């Protein structure tokens, strides 16, 4: 049997393995974590709306009944294209076909040197960190010597005005209004400022103008200060320093401002597109390679319409995985491969517990109905019937009682200062 090694159990890798799991091939699925993360709902874990288990699912459980799919929890370091071998932290692994679906990692830009002082929203651990750090600071703020110190401890800066940034900012604003007054009656929450910093001149750059304007209005109405055209320059653990030299005092800096592709060593530099995504052809094959493929965020399928590659979105990874699974079957049957065409399914973002903005290719809308559509699509996309039911119950309850169920502190966060 041919051996296909898939690196990454994200949206792309998981879909591909599922689609090939009934074929007569050996599939080795590798991920450094033993679970798949539903990244669009990380902000819910970060703000106490959902449990980690609702949005992360163990890979072994998914493939229980598929004997030809083997999972290894392992980190891949490099690829040797000459010998078809991977170097990993559990030894060397060989492949007949390799599919790279490693997604992205945080890009801290000029904040690289202070990355241990800020809170990225990219992984499950990151989401836990945000929740625990935020709750810990609320407890700590009660001991502050004066109002100024207290404000610094409970102020929140969110960096990045994309979907993740506005979603986390909106959820924190709702906590401030509805949950914290109940749980911290002795705290003066009027001193707490939630500020959203965005370097460009609009929110939701990946969405339409109306979506951007509505998101702005919703966030403003929730009491969030929005700073557009405001690049952040530095952070010393207490002061966020802006490009114009002014500062914002805060202990909590949530980073949603950028990601970069995961880069494995050993691959020829000619495989990379500027920006470090792997250049792929219409069959998701790396240029000059018959055995290595890339899908999802890590892959750059460049076309005149998308000169930088397709957007980094879950539907792109899923569509590429489905097509690649089909093309593997065609390849083994000696038939002609089918080229990839991207079907834009739209983009959406939610602001708080009752509002969303939705851009479908032919229909753009916002408000409560948009939020119902957002909720339905996200619930149906979760893995596992139990997770869908628990999430629906959680969201339905918080819709009516405005409460968030989760506020326990699990100290994971390490600060170097
Ligand atoms: C906070 C946030 C919110 C988002 N919201 C949305 C949204 O609303 N809608 C939307 O469409 N998209 C959203 N996205 C983007 C979406 O999550 C990605 O486009 C999608 O996950 C890409 O799928 P992928 O399979 O390429 O990679 P991923 O899903 O990122 O999976 C990559 C996998 O590879 C593993 N891996 C990486 N390196 C290695 C290694 N060296 N060895 C072993 N394993 C490795 C990782 O552990 C991970 O499991 C969001 C992303 C974030 C961070």
Of 231, 257, 283, the residue that ends a domain is 257
pLDDT at 133: 94
Identify whether the C-beta of residue 54 lies closer than 8 Å to the C-beta of residue 359: no
| Test site for ligand 1: of 35, 40, 125, 257, most ligand atoms within 8 A of the Cβ | 40
Sequence-ordered strand ranges (E) for 150-213: 156-159, 194-197
| One domain for residues 198 and 116 | yes
| One domain for residues 202 and 145 | yes
Residue 151: inside a domain? yes
Per the document, the length of the chain is 417
CATH code for the domain in which residue 270 is found: 3.50.50.60
**Which residue from 135, 119, 117 is spatially nearest to 127, judged by alpha carbons?**
119
Take residue 47 and report the two structure tokens written for it: 């703000």
pLDDT in tens, 360-393: 999 999 999 999 999 999 999 998 888 898 888 8
* Enclosing domain of residue 319: 3-32+74-105+259-332
Percent of the chain with pLDDT over 70: 98
Of 332, 350, 382, the residue that ends a domain is 332
Distance 236 CA to ligand 1 centre (A): 29
**Three-state SS for 120?**
strand
Sequence-ordered strand ranges (E) for 305-415: 347-351, 355-360, 363-367
More confident call, 52 vs 96: 96
Average pLDDT over residues 22-28: 94
Residue 54: inside a domain? no
**Which residue from 288, 290, 289, 312 is spatially nearest to 299, judged by alpha carbons?**
312
| 369 Cβ contact partners less than 8 Å away, ≥ 6 residues apart | none
**Which residue from 384, 407, 409, 412 is spatially nearest to 36, judged by alpha carbons?**
384
| One domain for residues 101 and 113 | no
Find out whether the beta carbon of 93 lies less than 6 Å from any atom of ligand 1: no
Please, what is the angle between helix 163-174 and helix 209-221, to 10°?
20
Of 308, 332, 356, the residue that ends a domain is 332
Residue 13: inside a domain? yes
**Three-state SS for 192?**
coil
**Which residue from 353, 388, 347, 383 is spatially nearest to 368, judged by alpha carbons?**
353
| One domain for residues 136 and 274 | no
Find out whether the beta carbon of 165 lies less than 6 Å from any atom of ligand 1: no
pLDDT at 390: 87
| One domain for residues 272 and 319 | yes
pLDDT at 414: 54
The whole-angstrom distance between residue 294's C-alpha and the CA centroid of its chain comes to 19
Identify whether the C-beta of residue 224 lies closer than 8 Å to the C-beta of residue 196: yes
| One domain for residues 159 and 219 | yes
| One domain for residues 185 and 114 | yes
Q: Is residue 76 scored above 80 in pLDDT?
A: yes
Q: Is residue 238 scored above 90 in pLDDT?
A: yes
| 216 Cβ contact partners less than 8 Å away, ≥ 6 residues apart | 202, 203, 226
pLDDT in tens, 127-151: 999 999 999 999 999 999 999 999 9
| Test site for ligand 1: of 36, 102, 294, most ligand atoms within 8 A of the Cβ | 102
Residue 64: inside a domain? no
Name the residue at shortest CA distance from atom 53 of ligand 1: 122
| One domain for residues 117 and 237 | yes
- The domain total for the chain is 2
**Which residue from 102, 75, 101, 79 is spatially nearest to 90, judged by alpha carbons?**
75
Q: How far is CA 150 from CA 12, 18, 190, 193, 253, in A?
A: 44, 51, 11, 11, 16
Residue 203: inside a domain? yes
| 345 Cβ contact partners less than 8 Å away, ≥ 6 residues apart | 315, 360, 361
| One domain for residues 138 and 212 | yes
CATH code for the domain in which residue 179 is found: 3.50.50.100
Residue 373: inside a domain? no
Residue 198: inside a domain? yes
Band of residue 415 on the pLDDT scale cut at 50, 70, 90: very low
Residue 399: inside a domain? no
Distance 11 CA to ligand 1 centre (A): 7
Band of residue 417 on the pLDDT scale cut at 50, 70, 90: very low
**Which residue from 6, 42, 3, 45 is spatially nearest to 25, judged by alpha carbons?**
3
Dihedral sign, CA of 111, 114, 117, 121? positive
Q: What is the distance between the alpha carbons of residues 381 and 370, in angstroms, rounded to a whole number?
A: 17
pLDDT at 254: 98
Q: What is the mean pLDDT of the chain?
A: 94
| One domain for residues 156 and 171 | yes
DSSP 384: S
Distance 212 CA to ligand 1 centre (A): 24
Percent of the chain with pLDDT over 90: 86
| One domain for residues 246 and 195 | yes
Q: What is the pTM of this model?
A: 0.95
| One domain for residues 247 and 179 | yes
Find out whether the beta carbon of 122 lies less than 6 Å from any atom of ligand 1: yes
pLDDT in tens, 60-71: 999 999 999 999
Q: What is the distance between the alpha carbons of residues 140 and 361, in angstroms, rounded to a whole number?
A: 47
Name the residue at shortest CA distance from atom 15 of ligand 1: 313
pLDDT in tens, 202-236: 999 999 999 999 999 999 999 999 999 999 999 99
Identify whether the C-beta of residue 301 lies closer than 8 Å to the C-beta of residue 316: no
Q: What is the distance between the alpha carbons of residues 123 and 228, in angstroms, rounded to a whole number?
A: 26
Identify whether the C-beta of residue 204 lies closer than 8 Å to the C-beta of residue 219: no
Identify whether the C-beta of residue 300 lies closer than 8 Å to the C-beta of residue 333: no
Band of residue 413 on the pLDDT scale cut at 50, 70, 90: low
pLDDT in tens, 256-274: 999 999 999 999 999 999 9
């Amino acid at each position: 049997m041919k051996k296909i090694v898939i690196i990454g159990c994200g949206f792309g890798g998981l879909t591909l393995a599922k689609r090939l799991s009934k074929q007569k091939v050996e599939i080795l699925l590798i991920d450094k974590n033993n679970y798949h993360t539903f990244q669009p709902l990380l902000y819910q874990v970060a703000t106490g709306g959902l449990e980690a288990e609702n949005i992360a699912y163990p890979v072994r459980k998914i493939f229980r009944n598929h004997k030809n799919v083997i999972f290894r929890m392992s980190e891949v370091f490099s690829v040797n294209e000459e010998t078809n071998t991977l170097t990993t932290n559990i030894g060397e692994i060989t492949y007949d076909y390799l599919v790279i679906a490693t997604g992205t990692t945080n890009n801290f830009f000029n904040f690289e040197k202070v990355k241990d002082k800020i809170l990225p929203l990219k992984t499950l651990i990151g989401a836990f960190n945000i929740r625990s750090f935020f709750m810990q600071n609320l407890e700590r703020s009660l001991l502050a010597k004066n109002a100024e110190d207290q404000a610094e401890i409970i102020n929140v800066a969110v960096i990045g005005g994309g979907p993740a940034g506005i979603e986390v900012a909106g959820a924190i604003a709702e906590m401030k209004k509805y949950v914290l007054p109940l749980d911290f009656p002795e705290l003066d929450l009027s001193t707490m400022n939630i500020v959203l910093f965005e370097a460009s001149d609009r929110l939701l750059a990946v969405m339409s103008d109306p979506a951007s304007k509505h998101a702005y209005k919703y966030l403003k109405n929730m009491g969030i200060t929005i700073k557009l055209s405001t690049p952040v320059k530095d952070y010393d653990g207490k002061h966020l320093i802006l490009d114009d030299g002014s500062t914002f005092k805060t202990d909590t800096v949530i980073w949603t401002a950028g990601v970069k592709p995961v880069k494995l060593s050993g691959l020829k530099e000619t495989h990379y597109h500027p920006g470090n995504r792997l250049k792929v052809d219409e069959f998701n094959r790396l240029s000059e390679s018959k055995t290595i493929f890339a899908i999802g965020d890590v892959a750059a399928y460049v076309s005149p319409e998308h000169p930088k590659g397709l957007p980094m979105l879950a539907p792109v990874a899923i569509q590429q995985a489905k097509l690649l699974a089909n093309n593997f079957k065609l390849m083994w049957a000696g038939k002609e491969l089918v080229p990839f065409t991207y079907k834009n399914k739209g983009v959406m973002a939610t602001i708080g517990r009752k509002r969303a903005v939705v851009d479908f290719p032919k229909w753009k809308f916002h408000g409560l109905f948009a939020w119902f559509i957002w909720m339905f699509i996200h619930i149906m996309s979760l893995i596992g019937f139990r997770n869908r039911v628990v999430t629906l119950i959680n969201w339905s309850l918080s819709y009516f009682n405005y409460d968030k169920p989760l506020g326990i502190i699990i100290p994971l966060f390490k600060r170097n200062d």
